[in-house]
Amino acid sequence: MAIPDDIIERVRLSSDIVSVVREYLPDLKRAGRNWKACCPFHNEKTPSFMVSPEKSIFRCFGCGAAGDVFKFVMLTENLSWIESVKKLAKKAGIEIKETNEDVVKVSEKTKLFEILESSAKFYHRHLLESPLAKTARQYLEKRGINQETVKKFQLGYAPRGLLIQSALKKGYTSEDLSKAGVITKTERGTFFEYMSERVVFPIFDVQGRVIAFGGRTLTDQNPKYLNTPETIVYSKSSNLYGLFQTLPELRKERKIIVLEGYMDVVIPHQFGISGAVASLGTSFTHNHAKLIARYADSVTLLFDADDAGRTATQRALEILVEDGIQCSVSSLPEGVDADEYLNEKGKEEFLKLVEKSSKSAIDFMIERLSAAIKRNVPETKAKAVSALLDFAARSGNSIVQREWIKSISQSVNVDEEAVWREFKKKQHFKKGSYGVEKSIDVPLKESRRSLSLEEKLLKVILFDKNLMKLLSDDVFEDARCAKVYGLMVSGAGDADILNALGKEDADWFSALTMDETEYDNAEESLRVILKDVETAKLKRKRQVLEKEILLMTEGKIANDGKKIAEYKKLTILLKGSGK
């Protein structure tokens, strides 16, 4: 659901950022135009977290966190943006109504859910009853899947062409089916049903609604597994296969095992192993991690023991570590799938293996780099250590980091202190990278890079927006300055601008606008900078002409009297300005 812009603005206006922040940070104190406190998003002893009541934004000069009042509540309370708006709206007594557009969207979604639900039922019924599904039933039996599991996961079979017929009869259009992701139009204008002649694994969201399908071929057809595409109700990076079915157990155990495929999930469920889920044919994302954090306190990764599996494991670990989720890695013997192992050896053996092979995230990384470490070539070793330290830096927890650095130094047989020095060095250069900032005691100050003329200009008009009228539309040539100026001209406030920029630009912009420079006479400062900007422009123009005139004197191009005259004029002008 989207909230209308005017309502968001009303909520923002009614939620004074200083009062809201002060509820969370009672130590917030006035410091000049801004308010200051120790940052809630990283560890520090000297306050570098600032709130500007005028601009209605906050910024931490230590870790770079910045945003408006909604973002602050979002970050501190771990809410989505919409939840944060709703929370502040409730507090301000503002009622949030869905816009008409949303009503249309909601009803469209409802329709897609209906189609997906009835498709799942259709496939399921065919698997259970249809003579066409004989091979599919044999396949599942061969993989050791029993009837109870077929029902629990609503497994199905898609006989060629029949779903479309049945859906059209029910009054859905081919466009509806296509929006639900069940079919797609081919170049020849015919329809292709994704699941056609495949064993079907319906994908459920945490509310138990069917949102998509995965299908396994029964022939040699490629690909072996095929998923229906993303739709307005299905995003593969925000869903995990099997999560819905294991929710009751997760409430008791809060432990998740992430495996690779559909079968790897279905079979453990059948054996009464709780918490088995799989990411859906996509690499692990922060959205997955967030989803996991809602239902579990720890995660075990159990991917295939091949190269692709190890790479996927590392990627997933990086994300889980960054998001502060406790994680470990277990492994199966090479070439063996989880479902095979379970069918062959049973639950107890499987659990024993998972436990026995369990490694911490850092031990997994050390093992992954062990070849380089063992070679005993200093440079190779240093490279390996560097990769391990990068990994350790992803954790926002200094106790975890401390332990990991101990492990690293032991594994490479290098003095712990030397490893620490390397780590500190890295952190120094890594300002703003995910996770790092949280562990540093002393905030890394904004680099003292001097501002460009255009940045100085922008800073003055951010200080006093009335001065904007003194500028011409094309005054900014630098792309991000021009972008911010464009937004300002269209009436955007600092918070809107911040929200409209990407992370890096937002970081840059918030530092610029929260700068504490006081101008005695902002207009005068503006005029001085403008003059410099103008001079710089003329200088660049003169440089271009100079090159051309050089070519003219060398006889390489024809003389151009106009250009020569302009060059002379510019030279006199620039002398006159004293530059």
The distance of closest approach from Cβ of residue 51 to Zn ion in the complex, given in angstroms and rounded to an integer, is 12
- The C-alpha atoms of residue 60 and residue 67 are separated, in whole angstroms, by 10
Non-local CB neighbours of 317 within 8 Å, separated by 6+ positions? 301, 327, 329, 361, 364, 365, 391
Q: Which stretch binds Zn ion (CB under 5 A): 56-64, 101-109, 290-298, 506-514?
A: 56-64
Of 178 and 397, CB closest to Zn ion: 397
H or E segment and range at residue 183: strand 183-185
Residues 57-86 within binding reach of Zn ion (CB under 5 A)? 60, 62-63
- Shortest Å distance, C-beta 480 to Zn ion: 23
In the complex, least distance from residue 379 CB atom to Zn ion, rounded to whole angstroms = 36
Q: Which stretch binds Zn ion (CB under 5 A): 54-62, 92-100, 160-168, 365-373?
A: 54-62
Q: How far is the CB of 38 from Zn ion (least distance, A)?
A: 8
Tell which residue, 260, 371, 243, has the closest CA to residue 315: 260
CB of 438 to Zn ion, least distance (A): 8
Is 43 or 217 the residue whose CB approaches Zn ion more closely? 43
Closer residue to Zn ion in complex, CB, 242/396: 396
The tokens describing 510, both together, are 């918030």
Kindly state whether residue 25 participates in binding Zn ion, applying the rule CB under 5 A: no
Least distance to Zn ion, CB of residue 495, Å:
18
Nearer Cβ to Zn ion (430/539): 430
Q: How many angstroms separate the CA atoms of 34 and 53, rounded? A: 7
What is the closest distance, in whole angstroms, from the C-beta atom of residue 65 to Zn ion in the complex? 5
Nearer Cβ to Zn ion, position 62 or 181? 62
User: What is the residue-wise DSSP string for 240-254?
Assistant: EETHHHHHHHHHHH-
CB of 562 to Zn ion, least distance (A): 56
Provide DSSP, 52-93: ETTTTEEEETTT--EE-HHHHHHHHHT--HHHHHHHHHHHHT
Q: Which is nearer to Zn ion, 62 or 202 (CB)?
A: 62
42, 126, 216, 456: residue in contact with Zn ion (rule CB under 5 A):
42
**Using CA atoms, how far apart are residues 558 and 481, in angstroms rounded to an integer?**
38
What strands, in cross-sheet order, belong to the sheet with 326-329? Answer: 240-241, 276-279, 255-259, 298-301, 326-329, 359-360
182, 228 in Cβ contact below 8 A?
yes
Fill in the per-residue mask, 393 to 412: x = in contact with Zn ion (CB under 5 A), - = not in contact.
--------------------
Binding to Zn ion, residues 344-403 (CB under 5 A) = none
Q: Which residue of 3, 17, 39, 69 would you call a contact of Zn ion, by CB under 5 A?
A: 39
Closest CB 545 distance from Zn ion, rounded Å: 49
Closest distance to Zn ion from the beta carbon of 426 (Å):
19
Contact 267, 288 (CB under 8 A): no
How near is the Cβ of 341 to Zn ion at its closest, in Å? 46
Short-list 73, 69, 49, 51, CA closest to 61:
49
Taking the least distance from each CB to Zn ion, the nearer of 41 and 172 is 41
**Considering only 29-37, 53-61, 342-350, 550-558, which stretch makes contact with Zn ion by CB under 5 A?**
53-61
Among 25, 37, 41, 487, binds Zn ion (CB under 5 A): 41
Report d(CA 320, CA 362) in Å as an integer: 12
C-beta of 41 vs 341, nearer to Zn ion: 41
CB 326 within 8 A of CB 298: yes
Q: Closest approach of Cβ 515 to Zn ion, in Å? A: 17
Between 39 and 280, whose beta carbon lies closer to Zn ion?
A: 39
39 vs 312 by CB, closer to Zn ion: 39
Number of residues forming the site for Zn ion (CB under 5 A): 6
**Rounded Cα distance, 373 and 384, in Å:** 6
Tell me whether residue 66 or residue 317 sits nearer to Zn ion (CB atom).
Answer: 66
Nearer of residues 75 and 564 to Zn ion, judged by Cβ: 75
Please report, for residues 14, 185, 197, 567, the alpha-carbon distance to residue 179 in angstroms, rounded to integers and kept in the order given: 40, 11, 21, 62
Q: Which residues pair with 289 in a beta bridge?
A: none
What is d(CA 68, CA 84) in angstroms, rounded to the nearest whole number?
A: 11
What residue type is assigned to position 438 of the chain? K
| Residue (42 or 179) nearer to Zn ion, CB | 42
Q: 177-197: string of b/e by CB count within 10 Å (b at 16+)?
A: bbbbbbbeeeeeeebebbbbb
93 vs 10: CA distance, rounded Å: 11
**Subset of residues 264 to 323 that bind Zn ion, contact rule: CB under 5 A:** none
CA 128 to chain centre: 41
- Whole-angstrom Cα distance, residue 470 to residue 472? 7
Q: Which is nearer to Zn ion, 42 or 288 (CB)?
A: 42
Beta carbon of residue 150, minimum distance to Zn ion (angstroms, whole number): 52
CB of 61 to Zn ion, least distance (A): 8
Which region among 32-40, 110-118, 189-197, 505-513 touches Zn ion (by CB under 5 A)? Answer: 32-40
- Binding string, 474-513, against Zn ion, x = CB under 5 A? ----------------------------------------
Whole-number minimum distance, CB 24 to Zn ion, in Å? 14
Tell me whether residue 59 or residue 86 sits nearer to Zn ion (CB atom): 59
What is the helix, strand, coil percentage profile of the chain, to 5?
55, 10, 30
User: For Zn ion, which stretch binds (CB under 5 A), given 39-47, 252-260, 363-371, 566-574?
Assistant: 39-47
Residue carrying structure tokens 């937004």: 487
Specify the DSSP element, H or E, that contains 371.
helix 370-374
Across the beta sheet with 225-227, the strand order is: 156-157, 198-204, 210-217, 225-227
Length of the chain: 579
By CB under 5 A, name the binding residues for Zn ion: 39, 41-42, 60, 62-63
